[in-house]
Structure 1
């Protein structure tokens, strides 16, 4: 009876209405996602609040984000790190970055966020070369084939105790197919295998259903 995407959306709406009130800045940032190169690809409101809570619970004040789009998740993260914190967000398209910067200013957190434009792997390499870091919290939500490269960069930019969250790891269940021709699926499978064999990391992955359909995320704790 309740196993449908319509029911999943209704449940998400109930949770959001009850526990995750959005102010005007968050609502505007979410709705402006329609004007980006990937409309409606931002995290759901309850997922955004989860990211913010993970930041606060881990004591994170420095955050690295792979994938900005309209800056919806960036607003959540920037608010979570507080006035003395900082977020570096990596975005491929200048068009999206401009939308995000406007949303960040509207949310009152523009001064604590740098949006770097260009291929995220290149931007991350520049951060490594410049000796930036370490970051306390990393959110990976960009092109999925590059997930292994983003993890590798994240490990160069974090320390023991840092937390890494990787979004969109279920791929509507396709993640279980080792022969999938989809390079997004293979990117997820490779990064999960990389995590599993890295003794510095402990991790788990969770499936989710809701307004974003059937998906899930991986939470990684860097223990050494």
Structure 2
């Protein structure tokens, strides 16, 4: 995370306890293929990469070229580059490209991008999943604002839409949990 700070990235990384949770979710699911929608500085990517077997793979999507370069450097320092791939571009466009490429489905999908588009990402992610895929949406509680029906914050509105979508989809089992940490 020091490298992230030195390169001017915002301090929005997952916490160590969140990273350990992601690691655990991947291990429990015996995950081999992970799709991460937004990587920022790569701390969650690192935790995911640690969870994978030698032949496991994580594909991280990042909108910002500088962030992607920082992630690449961080993953090199961590010694996990052989398990990782980073694609730069708008997440919705990159997800559509993956669908068009007919890539193999993912065992775990981590949605941690702009909250306004969480419903779009969920819809596309479902096309890249299979029965049993774990989909994790990060930062949806929004400091408790998720329950404020009158909020005008677009991130809150996006998170509310995401939760509503999950509740309406019949082929999805979902829950919301909060991880206690420093944030």
TM-score class, shorter-chain normalisation, is over 0.9
1:161 correspondence with 2:132: yes
Q: 1:124 to 1:177 in 2, by over 3 A?
A: same
Unaligned runs of 5+ in 1: 1-29, 213-224
Regions of 4+ moved over 6 Å: none
Which structure dedicates a bigger proportion of its chain to strand?
1
Which of residues 195, 199, 207 is equivalent to 2:170? 199
CA RMSD of aligned residues (A): 1.2
Q: 1:133 to 1:180 in 2, by over 3 A?
A: same
For 1:178, the equivalent position in structure 2 comes to 149
- SS of alignment partner, residue 61 of structure 2: strand
TM-score (norm 1): 0.79
- SS of alignment partner, residue 79 of structure 2: coil
1:207 offset after TM fit, Å?
2.8
1:108 offset after TM fit, Å?
1.3
Q: Equivalences for 1:9-24 in 2 at 5 Å?
A: none
Kindly indicate whether the alpha-carbon contact (under 8 Å) linking 2:27 and 2:52 is maintained by their aligned counterparts in 1: yes
TM-score (norm 2): 0.96
Unaligned runs of 5+ in 2: none
Kindly indicate whether the alpha-carbon contact (under 8 Å) linking 2:9 and 2:67 is maintained by their aligned counterparts in 1: no
Q: Measure the CA separation in 2 of the matches of 1:195 and 1:36.
A: 36
Point out the structure with max Rg over C-alpha: 1
Kindly indicate whether the alpha-carbon contact (under 8 Å) linking 1:36 and 1:70 is maintained by their aligned counterparts in 2: no
